[in-house]
Amino acid sequence: EHPFVLQKAFETARDTDPNSLEAALRAIRDYEWEVKSGQIDPELGLDVLLARM
């Protein structure tokens, strides 16, 4: 990776609130479960997931 890209990724990670990250991971987990269990259309589910973030 280019040093600039790594620096920006590090800054973003450092500035991210742990609670926000946890909520995003939960939303991704829920999306995956809903798609795999047939409860939601994958494209619609992705739209909902992105809106929740």
pLDDT value, residue 50 = 93
Is 12 inside any structural domain? Answer: no
CA atoms within 13 A on the CB side of 33: 6
Residue 9 forms part of a structural domain: no
Domain contains 41: yes
Q: Over the stretch 33-49, which tens digit does the pLDDT of each residue have?
A: 999 999 999 999 999 89
Q: Is residue 1 part of a domain?
A: no
Q: Residue 44: its pLDDT value, please?
A: 94
Indicate whether 35 belongs to any domain: yes
pLDDT bucket at 1, cuts 50 / 70 / 90: low
- Listed in sequence order, the residues at least 6 apart from 42 whose beta carbon sits closer than 8 Å to its beta carbon are 35
* 53 pLDDT tier (thresholds 50, 70, 90): confident
The C-alpha atoms of residue 13 and residue 53 are separated, in whole angstroms, by 16
Contacts of residue 48, Cβ cutoff 8 Å, sequence gap at least 6: 31, 40
Q: Which domain holds residue 40?
A: 17-52
Q: What is the mean pLDDT of the chain?
A: 91
Query: How far is 20 from 39, CA to CA, in rounded Å?
Result: 25
Domain assignment present for residue 25? The answer is yes
Domain total for the chain? 1
